[in-house]
A and B are shown apart, each in its own frame.
Chain A
């Protein structure tokens, strides 16, 4: 008990706040964009889950949604956008093209965005239905609450490393 208990409760509270205030950066490259728009529109309304505003600067976003096919020429751009985003950050691969390359098996398509950056949640479908997208967002929220997102795990590991390197002890 004591401080240890309170800090872990605090981390949970922060995660709770984060999962309901995701600022998304839609990286829309192909036909899946249509379905993304319908998910954002009033009928399905992603805003109900707290992911209200698309941010068109990666520096203001913490959720990268990769919507559509990624080609090799574009891959460095995607990587750079992801690097620019603020930590902690999460990534959703929207549609089979972003998840695995889909039916494109050729010289130009990247076989899955996870070849470029770590992906937290994959949405299958060509394109996925809006319900699947909402389901994916809820899955991601659970992942955030459980501190299991890729960048959450990495931040925690880096934090622990600093603590042990400096022999800091929590009292």
Chain B
């Protein structure tokens, strides 16, 4: 049998792949954040993953580094899937926002996904052409899907004046 995409990735990058997992054809590779764009470009050009189907973030509150960026890839021709993960350094607080390189140059489709990840988790994508909030309003403070965002906290834009009947 020919080598799987994951095996090719490990053979090519070696220690850059810090962890790997494969089950029932579901392949996952954890990547060092410094090589994020390089690995992504290799996946697109050599392994044929021409479609970035999802990009999201997981918040591991209490761990260091705290956030993990997860990217799902799909190869249209071979119907293969690959999941890439990376943990950018930097942890809590809005000032210490974790920073990772944007993949906009590799797959333009990640444009809105990275904006969503920035909006809801506060992960900054360096090199993104237009990193603004996409779901929440501009007046919103903080990043609501972080595990330490208070569940009951509301940031209303408008409320009915109490005197009004």
Q: Which of A72, A115, A116, A150 interacts with B155 by CB under 8 Å? A: A72
- Cβ-based interface call for B160 (8 A): yes
Q: How many residues on chain A are close to B (CB under 8 Å)?
A: 19
- Is A30 in contact with chain B by the CB < 8 A criterion? no
| B137 touches A (CB below 8 Å) | yes
- Contact indicator B156/A75 (Cβ below 8 Å): yes
**A115's contact among B136, B137, B151, B160, by CB below 8 Å, is which?**
B160
Query: Which stretch of A5-13, A16-24, A105-113 is in the interface?
Result: A105-113
Are B154 and A76 interface neighbours, CB within 8 A? no
> Cβ of B160 and Cβ of A117 under 8 Å apart?
yes
Q: Are A73 and B137 closer than 8 Å at their CB atoms? A: yes
Asked, given contacts A106-B151, A153-B165, whether A72 binds B157 with beta carbons under 8 Å apart, the answer is yes
Best-buried of A76, A79, A107 by chain B (most CB within 10 Å): A107
A114 CB-CB contact with B under 8 Å = yes
A154 within 8 A of B: yes
**Residues of the B chain whose Cβ atoms lie less than 8 Å from the Cβ of A130:** none
For chain A, what secondary structure do more than half of its interface residues adopt (helix, strand, loop), or is it mixed? loop
Report how far A40 CA is from B99 CA in the complex, Å.
52
A111–B156 Cα distance when bound, in Å, is: 11
A107 x B160 contact (CB < 8 A): no
Contacts of A110 in B (CB 8 A): 156
How far apart sit A6 and B160, CA to CA, in the bound complex (Å)? 37
| Contact indicator B165/A107 (Cβ below 8 Å) | no
Main secondary structure of the interface of B (DSSP, over half): loop
User: Please, which residues of chain B bring their CB within 8 A of the CB of A76?
Assistant: 157-158
Q: Which chain B residue has the least Cβ–Cβ distance from A80?
A: B158
Cβ contacts B128-141/A at 8 Å (1 or 0 each): 00000000110000
Asked if A54 lies at the interface with its beta carbon under 8 angstroms from chain B, I say no
At the interface, yes or no: B60 with Cβ under 8 Å from chain A?
no
- B157 / chain A contacts, CB cutoff of 8 Å: 72-73, 75-76
Q: List 28 A-B contacts (CB under 8 A).
A: A72-B154, A72-B155, A72-B156, A72-B157, A73-B157, A75-B157, A75-B158, A76-B158, A79-B160, A105-B151, A106-B144, A107-B144, A107-B149, A107-B153, A107-B155, A108-B144, A110-B156, A111-B154, A114-B160, A115-B156, A115-B159, A116-B158, A116-B159, A116-B160, A118-B164, A150-B165, A153-B165, A154-B165
Residues of A at under 8 Å CB distance from B?
A: 72-73, 75-76, 79, 105-108, 110-111, 114-118, 150, 153-154
